[in-house]
Amino acid sequence: MTSRPETEQETAQSAVCAIEEKTEAKAGATRKVFVRTYGCQMNVYDSERMTDVLAPEGYQATDDLEDADLVILNTCHIREKAAEKVYSELGRIRKVKEQRAKSGKDMMVGVAGCVAQAEGEEISRRAPIVDLVVGPQSYHQLPSLLNRARQGAKVVETEFDIDAKFDHLSERAERPVQKRAPAAFLTVQEGCDKFCTFCVVPYTRGAEVSRPVAQIVTEAERMASSGVREVTLLGQNVNAYHGQGPDGATWGLGRLLRRLSEIDGLDRLRYTTSHPRDMDDDLIEAHRDLKSLMPYLHLPVQSGSDKILKSMNRRHTRDDYFRLIDRIRGAVPDIALSGDFIVGFPGETDRDFEDTMDLIRRVGYGSAFSFKYSQRPGTPGATMDDQVPEAVKSARLAELQALVSEQQKAFNASRLGMHCDVLLEKKGRNAGQLVGKSPWLQPVQLDAPENLVGTIQAVEIVQIGSNSLFGRLIEGQDETDFSGAIPAPAAQAG
C-alpha cells in the first residue's frame, strides 16, 4: 500500500513553511539547510520535522541550493527508477558543492527517506559526496549523525527505531510555536502489514505502528494554537490506526477523529491513505456524524479484476469494494471518492483491464491517481511471469485516465452554483486573488482580500475549470461555522 494521494510525477520542494517555528536556534551559529522533498505527503511532513530537529543546531531553511550549508534529499521509492533520479540529482549537487569549495564554503549532503532505507551503503559507494544516509525512522537523530559525519565518518543509519522517532515528535509537540499555514499534515501511523506484491513500503517503512492518542492530540492542539485550521492525518494505512488511548484501550481511527474534532480552532479533518479492508463501521459513522470530517475519501482499489486483486495480495474482491462504497455513500451521499489504479500488473489481460474500467464506471470518482505497473526490486511482483509489454500498459493507462478525467469533470461540474465553505490558504497567482480548498478537496480560486487567508468563508461556485473551481465570496457573512454545501438559491429556482 502506498502513502497517498501521491502525485504522478515526483514533487520537489524546500521545506520552508515550518521554519517560522524555529525560535530556539543558537545565536551566532546560523547555517542554512535546503531540503528537497519527493513523493507523498508523509515525506512533506517528515521534511518539516527535519527542519524542526535541526533548528536547535542553528540551521535555518533556505530555498536556494547554492546558499545551503546542508542539503538533504528526502526521497521516495514508489515510482519507477526512483534511485536513479536521486543519483542524477546528486550529480548536480556535486557541482554546486565543488563551486562552494572554491570559495571556501563547505556543504554537507544527506540522503533521507525510502530510497535511503532501500539503498543504504550503495548510496555512499556510488555517490562519494554524500556524508550521511538516514532512513525515514531515524531522522530524529540528525544532529548526532551530522556530528559523526563532520568527524569524517560515512554515516548510514537505517534502523527501524520508529518508537524513538514518535517519542521525539511528542517532545517537539510540547514546545510553543509561531504562526503556521492554515492546513497541515500530522502523521499518526506508519508502516504496512499488507504486503501487496507490487509495493516496497513494508520494506522501507517497516511494520504498522501507531502513535499514542495523547501524542497526536498534543501535536494537533499545538497546530491549532499556531493557526492551523485543517489537519490531514497521515499513514501508509491510516485507517488501520490502533493507538493506545488515554484510557488504556486501543483506539481506532474513528474514535481518534472524534477526539480531534473536540479541539478548539481545528475546524477541518481529513486522512489518507486508506485500505478497503480497514474501513470499519465506526469510521464510516464518523464520516456521518462529524461536521469537521470533510466529505472526501481516498480509498485505493488498484484493480477491478478479482484475478489481479488476488495476485496483488489485496485480500478483497471487487464485490467487497462495491459493498463498501454503498455503505460509505449511505452515510455520506455527497462524498467525493478518490482512488489508485495500477494498469499492466503481471498477467493482466484485456478482460482484466475491462473489469477495472467497469469498476470505475460503476463507482464514479471525483479524482484518481493511476500508474503503469513498474517492477520494484525485492517485491514479489518484480519476478512474476507474464509481464505486460510497455506499449500495452501505455495504451491502457491512456484509456483509463481519459475515463477518470471525464468523471472528474462531471463531479466538478456538479458543484456549479453551489454554496460551500472554503478554507482560504494562500495568495493566488493574480493580484487580489486567494486560493483555498473546497470540502471535496478541489482547489478554489476567488477574488478576496489577503487578510482572509486562514479563514473559512462561504463561497458560491460560479465557474468550473479543468482542475479548479472558481468562486465569489457571499456578501454579508462573518467568519462563520458555515459547513457543507447547499444549492444556491438561483440553482434551486432553476
Is 17 known as a binding-site position? no
| CA neighbours closer than 13 Å in the CB half-sphere of residue 148 | 15
> Pairing state of beta strands 268-272 and 250-251?
unpaired
Helix axes 162-173, 41-54, angle to 10 degrees: 70
- Residue 348 CA to residue 410 CA, distance in Å, equals 29
CA angle 404, 280, 443 (to 5 degrees): 35
Is 114 known as a binding-site position? yes
E strand or H helix at 112: strand 108-113
How many CB atoms are located within 10 Å of the residue 166 CB? 22
- Residue 411 CA to residue 440 CA, distance in Å, equals 10
- How is residue 194 written as a grid cell? 499488507
- Residue 229 CA to residue 226 CA, distance in Å, equals 9
Residue 139 backbone dihedrals phi, psi, to 5 degrees: -70, -15
Q: At a CB cut-off of 8 Å and minimum separation 6, what does 329 contact?
A: 335
- The torsion defined by the Cα of 208, 213, 214 and 217, in degrees rounded to 10, comes to 110
CA distances from 161 to 77, 300, 481 (A): 19, 28, 42
Is 420 known as a binding-site position? no
| CA neighbours closer than 13 Å in the CB half-sphere of residue 223 | 31
- What is the maximal distance between C-alpha atoms in the chain? 74
Is 196 known as a binding-site position? yes
Is 192 known as a binding-site position? yes
Q: At a CB cut-off of 8 Å and minimum separation 6, what does 366 contact?
A: 296, 336, 337, 338, 407, 408, 411, 412, 440, 442
Its sign, for the CA torsion 56, 60, 65, 66, is negative
- How is residue 256 written as a grid cell? 481518534
- Residue 470 CA to residue 382 CA, distance in Å, equals 44
| Closest by Cα among 99, 88, 30 to 66 | 99
- How is residue 386 written as a grid cell? 507474464
- The torsion defined by the Cα of 262, 263, 268 and 271, in degrees rounded to 10, comes to -80
- Residue 205 CA to residue 158 CA, distance in Å, equals 10
CB 350 within 8 A of CB 308: no
Residues at the binding site for [4Fe-4S] cluster are: 40, 76, 114, 192, 196, 199
Residues at the binding site are: 40, 76, 114, 192, 196, 199
